Copies of this chain bind each other. A is one copy, B any other.
Amino acid sequence: MSGNSIGTILRLTTFGESHGIAIGGILDGVPPKIPISKKEIQKELNKRRPGSKHTSERKEKDLIEIFSGIFHGYTTGTSIGLIIKNQDHKPKDYVNLKNIYRPNHADFSYFKKYGIRDYRGGGRASARETAIRVAAGAIAKKYLYQKYNLRIIGFLKQIGDIKCNTIDLNRVTKNKLFCPDYDCLPLIINLIKNLKKQGDSIGAKIGIFVENVPIGLGEPIFDKLDAELAHSLMSINAVKGIEIGDGFKCVNQYGSKSYDEITPQGFKSNHCGGILGGISTGQNILISLAIKPASSISIPIKTINIYGNRTVIRTRGRHDPCIGIRAIPVSEAMVALTLMDHDLRNKAQCK
């Protein structure tokens, strides 16, 4: 139980290093007779896949293979084995990084903790690991959509100083940057282009919107729905902040002015972000995430090697100017896995 599993009834366990043979996972606890195809999973993976001009140029097809648990197009209730072979792994690229702690990367903390590490491309700490989360999340999304018509939409809220003022969720899936504001889109494309040229990276703010949420998801006290969403989202590489509903805007709100009035027709507002007492209210769930700028940049930065000597590092090539973009499908997947787990937990105890 060294951290490679998440969930209680629906439980994802993963393995794999960035430049090993494959990454993979086991999704356990999926009910039987859910229709799911390889194509549906692949579609989600393609959203996260690198290789576009806005993201890393590492060429990974991220082809999903299903080894078990799905039979004749339906889940069987047994554990689902998911594998993605690594294709464009060039371990040689990393030999020069073998003994260096890249700043803001996990190199330092992994080496201090384990005394040994697979240094190729971040090894286990690489965000490549998140591809399996997306694959598993595709199954959870399907389950939730089929059962509740529930949809999870992640989108760019801000990147650097560019804020999306118009949040048009219909637009999100129509551009590869998950941008909801067409006025911002050219500005963002330009920003990314410049960052690529300069070899720099930038942070971002992600929004997540969930509609058609059933009432009653979430277990009180420690496994509150918001607490478990915070857990699963903060486990995504580079996430440094999370807000539910009004989030940090609460700090200077008055109780008399920021409460969500309940009327016979339902709630009149949604300051709470769809969760009260850790349990979903049936309103839309609203989340924001802060994503730090990628640590791998081609501008030289100062650090030390494992012997404690000063050195300078410059990460060449294939990296993301804004990891906030590819973090969006990963965030959606984590929300889907958490909600589905809580739906099963609720079913166990309350229905």
Contacts and interface: CB of A to CB of B under 8 A. Distances in A.
Given A4-B26, A74-B116, A350 B31 contact: yes
> Which of A104, A226, A272 is most buried by chain B, counting CB atoms within 10 A of its CB?
A104
B251 A235 contact: no
A113 B216 contact: yes
A241 B244 contact: yes
A260 B104 CA distance: 6
Contacts of A224: 3, 234-235
- Contact-residue bracket for chain A: 35 or more
A231 B227 contact: yes
Nearest to A351: B347
Given A26-B26, A350-B114, A251 B204 contact: yes
Nearest to A277: B106
A103 interface: yes
A285 B104 CA distance: 15
Contacts of A101: 262
A15 B235 contact: no
Nearest to A279: B109
Nearest to A160: B252
A108 B15 CA distance: 34
Given A221-B129, A293-B254, A1 B6 contact: no
Given A15-B68, A78-B124, A254 B221 contact: no
22 contacts: A1-B29, A1-B223, A3-B223, A4-B219, A9-B345, A12-B222, A14-B221, A16-B81, A24-B68, A76-B118, A109-B277, A112-B216, A200-B256, A201-B256, A203-B252, A222-B235, A240-B245, A240-B247, A241-B243, A251-B291, A262-B302, A345-B348
